[in-house]
């Protein structure tokens, strides 16, 4: 091919994330942490196709998201890329219900696709890390309490600063609307209330007016939304409202029970709280709802959200499958932590030892590499012909902590020079001791 040919652009498409190795290693370790904690709570991995039949996805999507779906045909098939991991879960559980054991606790880490207009913090391809517990017919409220505890363990292990899991229960707003005689507006009102924290009281009021809610009733809604304080205090104030509605009272009872269980689960008091402005935009939540915010970076918004739903898969099966779950949008979270300078970016490689040979014959280098790898230590050999300095620059640029030199002197004496790239210190170590010496120095 002619070298002067115009080259094809290699930039990733807008709204797609592509990381350099040092960042990718950090992201991967976040995945590992999330997976480890999810498995510690007995969640089971599943993996579903990224491509689904369009009719499967469009049965469970509406509004803005429907427009964002990547849809296309191949042969006779009307296809689409999944836009979340909940719809594939619904299809999976409906399809495999006979083979699964309930309650079915599944986790799923995977990419999803939404053709949103590209803007900061919005991605067209992004990872979700979901857990859900699905019951067959019914599901204990205790599961609603376990979800925040899992999330507590995840974010504690991720070590990205103090956070708080905020809870509410959708039955409160649903019941309140019923008691006010405007239950037909509940779904729309929920969407408005969900944006309360973001847009403030004035705009929220305006939007409620536009829904056709009269001032007197809006005052009642704001009276409810204004309730805050410690969890017991909030429960007390909710009871004191004396709303004459069964759904509302059930909402209080559920919230109170979940809060009580959170204490039994050992959640520190400052790691959770009730926030009645949480409604979640999605229609399908019917009980407990969650959001999670970083205390020192509230502007990032919720980093982990979810809730309880009555019926996961009604479009696909006659089985009643209630559930509760939560999702971490890891691509967005990673990007925002990066922008906020909260990520510790380290080495660009898993390699802990670079072997720099001064000889043409690589056999001793290969032997040492195999010995170290057998001990579980990630090792590479610099195979290219180059000056020692070039090899050290390579180790330095990648963040490899140790270099072992293999030269004639080393082979003759049986003592190999090990250079600590952090301190510059060099020590001579017998071949048989190399694995234990390096093993003590590095964590791998």
CB 166 within 8 A of CB 278: yes
Q: Which of 63, 64, 66, 140 binds a second copy (CB under 8 A)?
A: 140
Name residue 44's beta-bridge partners.
106
> Is 92 a residue that touches a second copy (CB under 8 A)?
yes
SS3 label, residue 74: strand
> Long-range contacts of range 182-187, CB-CB < 8 Å, 24 or more positions apart?
182/213, 182/217, 185/211, 185/212, 185/213, 187/283
What is the rounded CA–CA span in Å between residue 371 and residue 377? 9
Q: How far is the CB of 16 from a second copy (least distance, A)?
A: 4
Q: Is 397 in the site for a second copy (CB under 8 A)?
A: yes
Of 169, 131, 138, 111, the residue nearest 41 (C-alpha): 131
How far apart (Å, rounded) are the C-alpha atoms in residues 290 and 295? 15
Helix ranges (H only) for 121-245 are 142-158, 170-179, 186-194, 196-210, 215-225, 231-240
Site for a second copy in 288-317 (CB under 8 A): 314-317
Task: Choose, by CB under 8 A, the member of 43, 196, 285, 402 that binds a second copy.
Answer: 43
> DSSP 3-state assignment of 94?
helix
The smaller minimum CB distance to a second copy, of residues 188 and 314, is found at 314
Which residue's entry shows tokens 């004459």? 244
Q: Out of 62, 181, 266, 424, point to the residue binding a second copy (CB under 8 A).
A: 266
Nearest to 289 by CA among 301, 270, 302, 298: 302
Out of 61, 65, 135, 250, name the contact with a second copy by CB under 8 A: 135
Site for a second copy in 97-126 (CB under 8 A): 99-101, 103, 105-106, 111, 113, 115, 124-125
Residue among 63, 64, 66, 77 that touches a second copy (CB under 8 A) = 77
Q: Report how far residue 106's alpha carbon sits from residue 309's, in angstroms, rounded to the nearest whole number.
A: 15
Identify which range of 183-191, 247-255, 371-379, 412-420 contacts a second copy by CB under 8 A: 371-379
Q: Say if CB 197 and CB 189 are below 8 A apart.
A: no
Of 166 and 391, nearer to a second copy (C-beta) is: 391
CB of 340 to a second copy, least distance (A): 22
Contact code string over 151-180 relative to a second copy, x by CB under 8 A: --x---------------------------
Asked whether position 437 contacts a second copy by CB under 8 A, the answer is no
Please tell me whether residue 387 binds a second copy under the rule CB under 8 A. Answer: no
- Binding segment for a second copy (CB under 8 A), chosen from 53-61, 182-190, 233-241, 283-291, is 53-61
Closer to a second copy by CB, 183 or 311: give it: 311
Exposure of 391 in the CB half-sphere (CA atoms within 13 A): 21
1 binds a second copy (CB under 8 A): yes
Which is nearer to a second copy, 9 or 181 (by Cβ)? 9
Write out the binding residues for a second copy, residues 202-231 only, by CB under 8 A.
none
Distance (Å, whole) CA 125 – CA 112 = 6
The verdict on 25 binding a second copy (CB under 8 A) reads yes
Contacts of 204 (CB under 8 A, 6+ apart): 192, 193, 195, 196
Nearer Cβ to a second copy (92/272) = 92
State yes or no: residue 284 binds a second copy (CB under 8 A).
no
Number of chain positions touching a second copy (CB under 8 A): 100
Query: Which position among 288, 305, 351, 435 is part of the footprint of a second copy (CB under 8 A)?
Result: 351
């Amino acid at each position: 091919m002619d070298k002067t040919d115009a080259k094809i652009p290699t930039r990733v498409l807008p709204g797609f994330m592509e990381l350099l190795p040092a960042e990718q290693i950090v992201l991967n370790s976040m995945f590992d942490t999330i997976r480890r904690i999810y498995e510690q709570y007995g969640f089971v991995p599943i993996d579903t196709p990224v491509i689904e039949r369009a009719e499967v996805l469009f049965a469970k999507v509406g509004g803005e998201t429907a427009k964002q779906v990547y849809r296309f045909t191949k042969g006779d098939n009307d296809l689409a890329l999944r836009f979340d991991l909940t719809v594939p879960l619904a299809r999976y559980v409906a399809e495999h219900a006979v083979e699964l054991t309930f309650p079915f606790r599944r986790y799923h880490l995977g990419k999803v696709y939404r053709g949103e207009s590209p803007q900061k913090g919005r991605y067209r391809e992004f990872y979700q890390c979901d857990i859900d517990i699905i019951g067959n017919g019914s599901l204990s409220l205790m599961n609603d309490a376990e979800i925040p505890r899992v999330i507590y363990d995840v974010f504690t292990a991720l070590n990205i600063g103090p956070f708080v899991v905020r809870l509410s229960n959708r039955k409160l707003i649903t019941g309140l609307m019923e008691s006010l005689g405007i239950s037909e507006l509940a779904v729309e009102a929920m969407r408005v209330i969900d944006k309360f924290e973001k847009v403030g009281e004035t705009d929220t009021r305006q939007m409620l007016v536009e829904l056709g809610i009269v001032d007197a009733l809006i005052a009642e809604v704001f009276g409810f939304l204004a309730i805050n304080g410690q969890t017991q205090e909030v429960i007390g104030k909710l009871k004191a409202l004396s709303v004459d509605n069964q759904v509302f009272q059930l909402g209080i009872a559920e919230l109170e029970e979940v809060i009580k269980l959170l204490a039994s689960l050992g959640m520190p008091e400052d790691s959770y709280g009730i926030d009645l402005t949480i409604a979640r935009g999605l229609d399908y939540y019917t009980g407990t709802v969650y959001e999670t915010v970083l205390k020192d970076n509230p502007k990032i918004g919720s980093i982990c959200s979810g809730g309880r739903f009555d019926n996961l898969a009604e479009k696909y099966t006659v089985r009643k499958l209630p559930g509760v779950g939560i999702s971490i949008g890891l691509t967005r979270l990673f990007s925002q932590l990066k922008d906020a300078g909260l990520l510790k970016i380290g080495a660009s490689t898993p390699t802990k030892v670079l072997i720099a040979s001064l000889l043409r014959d690589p056999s001793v280098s290969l032997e040492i590499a195999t010995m170290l790898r057998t001990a579980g230590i990630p090792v590479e050999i610099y195979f290219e012909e180059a000056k020692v300095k070039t090899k050290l620059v390579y180790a330095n640029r990648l963040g490899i902590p140790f270099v072992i030199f293999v030269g004639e002197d080393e082979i003759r004496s049986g003592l190999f020079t090990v250079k600590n790239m952090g301190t510059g210190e060099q020590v001579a170590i017998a071949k048989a001791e190399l694995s234990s010496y390096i093993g003590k120095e590095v964590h791998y």
